[in-house]
């Protein structure tokens, strides 16, 4: 079954599978959004079933909440628990300092709130998401629909004042209409090619009226678990500097992949 999966999906599964080893009984857990996070939710549900773990989960999107509930996980609102032990989520890019671009799946707002309210954040990714400098992936910025074109112009002016050379800003569409986030906002994708100073850009963008949040996660992620198509995984902890290599048995994913219909 796993042989039919693309190498990228095997890499995502490997990272996801390894990440759930960090989950302990009784934890309050943040569940990320996206294809890698979906593998994690499935791997987590298998562990919960097999070991009878008692977990309280907070989802970062309606999609993740639906999937987690469907798989029998207990999902509550963030305000019911206030603080989480751990959040596991995907990313669109991560740099050597474990700063991230997130929001490719339009869930960056809830993702940032949940990750910030967690003792630790683990990012799970295939190796292609590792970059020397953030920015090849267009940076998602969530804006309110009211006056969004004015907000877009203000963002462009701000990028100009920061000497950002490439500053293409595009409204994200879904079937020809502006994509709406779970909160009803729009997403502007900033194609910047290179982000020299993610901390500065994140702060400046959030000063612009109409901007709700941006997809730069600076100093939020603690651990990255990087998966490869052959099941090899590397765990890197930015706080301790520890790097650990391991291997995930891709055959263990057979149930999960079968559920996906692959």
Ligand X SMILES: O=C[C@H](O)[C@H](O)[C@H](O)COP(=O)(O)O
Q: In terms of CB distance, is 129 or 154 closer to ligand X? A: 129
CA distance 77 to 59: 8
Q: Which residue has tokens 């009803």? A: 184
Verify binding: residue 90, ligand X, rule CB under 6 A: yes
**Residue 141 touches ligand X, criterion: CB under 6 A:** no
The verdict on whether residue 176 carries a ligand-binding annotation is no
Q: Does 104 bind ligand X (CB under 6 A)?
A: yes
49 annotated as a binding-site residue: no
Catalytically annotated residues: 111
Q: For residue 35, state whether it binds ligand X (rule: CB under 6 A).
A: yes
Query: How many other CB atoms sit within 10 Å of the CB of residue 62?
Result: 12
> Looking at the DSSP assignment, which residues form a beta bridge with residue 57?
29, 75
The reply, when asked if residue 32 is annotated as ligand binding, is: no
User: Counting beta carbons within 10 angstroms of the beta carbon of residue 77, is it exposed (0 to 12), middle (13 to 18) or buried (19 or more)?
Assistant: exposed
105 binds ligand X (CB under 6 A): yes
From 121, 104, 118, 20, select the one nearest 61 (Cα to Cα).
104
Binding status of residue 92 toward ligand X by CB under 6 A: yes
Taking a C-beta distance cutoff of 8 angstroms, is the pair 152, 180 a contact?
Answer: no
Scanning 16-24, 102-110, 168-176, 183-191 for contacts with ligand X by CB under 6 A, the matching segment is 102-110
Closest-CB residue for ligand X? Answer: 34
Residue list for the binding site for substrate: 33-36, 89-92, 102-105, 129
């Amino acid at each position: 079954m796993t042989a039919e999966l693309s190498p990228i999906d095997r890499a995502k599964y490997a990272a996801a599978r390894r990440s759930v080893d960090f989950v302990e009984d009784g934890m309050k857990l943040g569940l990320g959004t996206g294809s890698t996070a979906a593998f994690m939710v499935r791997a987590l549900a298998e562990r919960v079933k097999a070991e009878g773990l008692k977990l309280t989960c907070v989802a970062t999107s309606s999609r993740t909440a639906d999937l987690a509930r469907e798989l029998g996980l207990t999902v509550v609102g963030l305000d019911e628990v206030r603080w989480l032990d751990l959040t596991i989520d995907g990313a669109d890019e991560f740099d050597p300092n474990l700063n991230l671009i997130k929001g490719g799946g339009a869930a960056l707002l809830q993702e940032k709130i949940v990750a910030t309210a967690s003792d630790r954040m683990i990012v799970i990714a295939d190796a292609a998401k590792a970059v020397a400098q953030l920015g090849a992936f267009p940076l998602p910025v969530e804006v309110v629909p009211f006056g969004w074109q004015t907000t877009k112009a203000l963002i462009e002016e701000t990028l100009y004042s920061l000497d950002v050379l490439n500053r293409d800003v595009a409204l994200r569409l879904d079937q020809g209409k502006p994509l709406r986030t779970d909160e009803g906002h729009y997403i502007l994708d900033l194609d910047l090619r290179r982000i020299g100073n993610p901390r500065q850009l994140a702060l400046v963008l959030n000063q612009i009226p109409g901007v709700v949040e941006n997809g730069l996660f600076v100093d939020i992620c603690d651990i990255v678990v990087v998966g490869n198509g052959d099941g090899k995984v590397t765990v890197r902890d930015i706080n301790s500097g520890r790097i650990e290599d391991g291997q995930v048995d891709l055959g263990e994913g057979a149930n999960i992949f079968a559920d996906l219909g692959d």
